[in-house]
Structure 1
């Protein structure tokens, strides 16, 4: 993966952080993105950079905002020359009966869990097509396949 660049959304903790580390271990340049305490994020970013001897940057794009997703991809390509791998991993959850499900929570879940992947793919595909190489990995929970009580979004 040396010379390739991986953008992993939702990678400041959990599965996303593990995926970013796996790509770093293979020599890829890494762009992490996600929520959390900025000091903790910087600690994780620096750890990846030192542990795997690869450049790692953090971009704080709000995955509910298409302009910020576009800037995430533009920044990654500007820093490293291209985005070769996009991992759409960012996701949130809210549970409530549908008649009580707050509209703002519905909109946030759909924006992050669904629309963010679309906007990320839309941003990286032209470069991948031009280079004739790229990988997009879309991560979903089990709820992408099987319904659960109070998880309508």
Structure 2
């Protein structure tokens, strides 16, 4: 695993950053990606901490050309991408009749279509090497629906379906594809939902977390980012060579109900 390269979208904050750190600890070369102003500094600091080779790309998930360029830069520098982790995502909550069309387009573009463009870009080299690991960070909302999240639920359901399809296509070439489906993780995206729900319901944030955000989870705790990172590491390993096409819930028992 020490000589492999992982490209992780949205890897300068939240879940993506936790995954990048876990892979860096194992000696992976990392292609970081993010739109934060200090994203390049975050990547450099983590790479220095773990003494790994790295690249940083500010590629916008809504630009297919920028995504292809990011893969090309990784290929030129490291010889290819062994592990592709599609993690970047955004959210917007609104009733369907009031859902802004531009938000629908952006959510589908970033959460789903970008994964297609990146998989398409890395696919030929993975087929040639007869090795590849594609890990899509979906969501419990890739398995279940919730009100007012039409675009996000549609995108994550689509990502799970896309994962299954490429798992079948990749099987003859040593390429696996799996989706991780977390419950609620305390990321900036979820923090905004907590704040908005607290304002809407006139409740303290801790009560919103327990009664609204985590209502569907049997375990009333946020999913730790470290748990998602460790699962991603396993899926990238040789031990997971026959695990493909799975949508793996890590959701505090949400999917058990």
* TM-score bucket (shorter structure): over 0.9
Q: 1:1-153 maps to which residues of 2 (within 5 A)? A: 1-38=1-38, 41-153=39-151
Contact map agreement 2:89 2:107 (CA 8 A) in 1: yes
Normalising by structure 1, we get a TM-score of 0.95
Contact map agreement 2:35 2:59 (CA 8 A) in 1: no
Q: Which has the higher contact order (CA 8 A, sep 6+)?
A: 1
1:9-68 CA-partner distances (Å, limit 9, x unpaired): 011101100111111111111011112123xx2331122211111012110111011111
Contact map agreement 2:87 2:137 (CA 8 A) in 1: yes
Partners of 2:89 and 2:10 in 1: how far apart?
A: 7
Q: Which has the larger radius of gyration?
A: 2
Q: After TM superposition, what 4+ stretches of structure 1 lie above 4 angstroms from structure 2? A: none
Normalising by structure 2, we get a TM-score of 0.57
**Superposition RMSD on alpha carbons, in Å?**
0.9
Contact map agreement 1:84 1:134 (CA 8 A) in 2: yes
1:58-99 CA-partner distances (Å, limit 9, x unpaired): 101110111111111111111111110000001100111111
Segments of 5+ residues of structure 1 without an aligned counterpart are: none
- How many residues align? The count is 151
Partners of 1:66 and 1:57 in 2: how far apart?
A: 19
Contact map agreement 1:5 1:80 (CA 8 A) in 2: yes
Contact map agreement 1:48 1:56 (CA 8 A) in 2: no
